[in-house]
Amino acid sequence: PEYNRSYPPVLKNALDIASRPYGKNVWANKPAGLLSFSPGGLGGFGSSNHLRQVLTFLDIPTLSQPEMYIGNVPTLFDEQGKISNPSTNDLFQQYATAFISWVNKFTA
């Protein structure tokens, strides 16, 4: 969820704690991806971009494209909890493919 256009405090604490003491950052060089979901129309755009700034400082290489800001989440699922829009499903597949490729660049 967004907290005043930023990410949740509990995530901030986890990132801070695991990056200390200075020089012992466990996050360094671990690839990451950002996806945000929201019941509102902006899809967590503000929180994702703020988090991206922090990840850069923590030396966490973050997938740039495709970007994933999924808004109006309650409308995306049918009664069984499955994604009801094929284009949304395709978007998730594109992201998953790109993220797997991104991670492989750091594990090869």
For position 66, what pLDDT does the model report?
Answer: 93
Asked whether the predicted pLDDT for residue 108 surpasses 80, the reply is no
Question: Can you tell me the distance from the alpha carbon of 106 to that of 32, in angstroms, rounded to the nearest whole number?
Answer: 11
pLDDT digits over 43-72, tens only?
Answer: 788 899 999 999 999 999 999 999 999 988
pTM of the model: 0.84
For position 3, what pLDDT does the model report?
Answer: 83
Residue with the bigger pLDDT between 1 and 22: it is: 22
User: Across the chain, what does the average pLDDT equal?
Assistant: 91
pLDDT digits over 9-42, tens only?
Answer: 999 999 999 999 988 999 999 999 999 988 888 7
